Amino acid sequence: MKKVFNLLFLTLLLFTSNSCEKDDLCTPDQAVTPRLVIEFKDALSPLENKPVERLQVQEIGSTEFAPLNNEGATTLTSVENISIPLRTDRNRTSYNFILNESGVLNSDNIDFTYNLGEEYVSRACGFRVIYDGLIAVLTPESTGTQWVQNVAVVEQSITNNTDIHVQILH
């Protein structure tokens, strides 16, 4: 009887220890498709950060404003960097960057093009979209004053939410 009990105990122990593997768990930070991280710099002193006083970002053709941080805020004040989503269904996303200075709105358009790719995360998470070959183009304005002076791609591969990918000089 003791042999049967030991055998049952070992069998139960074996099944419970093998039932949950690392691939069976998916934490939110693993499965997240990375966002484009943008840092704002001073156009006259490009090594220095220069906060944007009041900023909103809107995708061309959308009536909604893009979330600018992980909390989903669509308007930020005195901000030095933001993280915005890129489209996962095509290789281009165009945004209007709307600066509000003392009630005066100034909107500049930046087109982001990239190659879409997939990265396997785990059995539980599946795949996530990653971006490669990032190009950012500032659309010149024919009328009005452009608040964005230049756009520089710092990192062409977007695989995480911590690296700075683009710098906007203003």
Residue type, 164: I
H or E segment to which residue 64 belongs:
none
Length, in residues, of the chain: 170
**Cα–Cα nearest to 101, from 37, 51, 61:** 51
Rounded distance between C-alpha atoms, residue 105 and residue 147, angstroms = 10
Q: Which residues contact 54 (CB under 8 A, 6 or more apart)?
A: 75, 76, 77, 99, 100, 101
pLDDT tens per residue, range 97-146: 999 988 889 999 999 999 999 999 888 888 999 999 999 999 998 887 89
The pLDDT, as a whole number, for residue 102 is: 86
76-79, strands of its sheet edge to edge: 76-79, 52-59, 92-101, 104-122, 126-138
pLDDT tens profile 57-66: 999 999 999 9
Q: Is the pTM of this model over 0.85?
A: no
- Provide the H-helix boundaries in 26-101: 28-31
